[in-house]
A and B are shown apart, each in its own frame.
Chain A
């Protein structure tokens, strides 16, 4: 955003807005000096891994960076021009950063992240600062794995979701099992009551027969509830347990493709350095890249679909579950109970 001329240094405020999970906040600002931009640029240049990319244009001294004296001179001489150049300077620095941010690979660069986030001087001056910087680096390294925000989110989400669906599936099975056991008991009770009804010599015989009927009704209800819960809830959870596992497997395949791609890049760099089998390495690298991009594209679509399907399936099944539970709870058990029994 803005630049501030402070004594003899120009300081730029770099404001970042990001939804990437590996930043500690969604919006943050740091102050950077020109030297630090240069440091970042140099780090890109020096990084072998980025050998295959178009080099970023260096922010030269003569382009949009001025010393304070020059600023003052300009200011004194032509204020409007000064302002324009100032804006340009800021813009140039911003463009530089934005180009880095837009680049699919460079945006993941560790130094870039440090540059954006670390709220103290980057220029390695003095031991303390170096140590602090190293510490910061260490922390950043831990969280910066897969930078692509969509897939990062999906990975975190799926890991947790899968475990929870697994648990819910197991628990729903246990619940339904108990329900079935209860229904079996009620069945036995109904038969015993029937036998008692046929045997009893008192007024109770008719009573027992009636109660036996009611228990048989209850049993049917309980058995159907258990069956419907099995169908609408347990099966749903089992299905999405398998689906979430499949989604995890997909992400894993993509990770593998990424690793292959990264390895191919390394191999290409080596080949170029040794100037041997360069073409082979290039072909292989391109294949890996293509494969990775293809899998990423399809995986993204897959995962989006997964969500849509999941939401629809849960909706359908939960609605049907509730409707069936209501249907069973409303069976006219009431009509037959107390009133008619008092008369028996």
Chain B
């Protein structure tokens, strides 16, 4: 019986599907479902900007209104990807300007964005509403000014941890003089001072403004003035507090915060003086998200603040919180879902920071909804890991960074294999995992077998042999992104499991022992993988068996990329052409 839904009905049904993963599944059912789905997809996500050409995306999704792109590999965050590697936004902006002029939202992560890109966005998309740049670089405040001046319907402008050439604070004055439609503005990564009067006036004429994240150049007085004008804010990133405490300023600030009755997210707090923290007490009971990771404040002051935050769901903090502080968090913040503990600067204080594995154990015991963890700690134990896994099988993201490479369980001197085995076994919904400390191949056998839902795995300074990679690539059913550095495996596992790589978005290997010959072989065996070697010397000048420094392998339907710098080499599918950094001669 051949039952076919009329396409209008199908379209209507599919329009209720938001998740792109589901939509991808829908599009695989049959041609007509593919066609209907593609014509109705409004939000397009491309996890690797080199996996597909911009033209192909524009062609496939004519109704696209929102585009999200990611460029450089994740390890670029830690300076493992040299400058000039790639990830240029330009080809995408150029293509969309021509073919998708109705685009309203662009979100870019780890890409190189130039002023020309921003100017083209401003000039091309008449109804442009949302620009979010995360960990991007290559542009200046001139480009931001262009967006501010031209995009009359701009709702969201967020620069998150970007490296921006800051030519001064004038860009803010380019927002239209009449009221704006701004809902969210984040310029926390800019250095220059913005004229407070410009900012005040902007805030006053932006009635929809809900999220405002200031840069450190904004002072306490400025903050107070802005809060008075925008008591409706739900998200606030403060400026800096580095001035001395003036009692009048303090009480004014306190009052301003008291009037912000809808504040849910608080961040910034650069170098906040502990004396200012009481000004925040009034908003604590309502806070769901608190980022104290730049607040160099001691444990007792942190505890005073945190014990008032009973609704807190997300906490980012430095290790200055110590085990004791986390114990308080465990008893007061019962709604906690996400915890990130960052290392503080080593010589910030004279005494040793008292943060150990016990802190995380406390939180795992006390916070039943805890599902996402990022924890930097000098050392760890298997027992702690096992306890955490037992307490919190609902953990979805577990990233432990034992700062000391190769550090074993400091109580038993064993590898941390058992601990991570427990995590993999018990946390059945685990999607993201970062391992560290001393680990043998066995650890990866356990992870491969049990971590069925892990999509992203990060490994450093671990394992003994090719077995570790073999385990990972022959197990880990849901693996999409694997990044490995400084592990002692060679070619065998990689070549034997080549087919796995096409089921993944990408694989990053650095400072391992994979040889150039293996890269060549892999590239020639797998037509739909780009195998890119990052090496300052042409790999051909060395014997095929010599290891290459960094390899980035990703699946693609776009063929080798055309914008590789001199130090990125790809191996042509055609063995006659050999190796070059020019994809096509």
Are A and B co-members of a single complex? no
Binding site for B on A (CB under 8 A): none
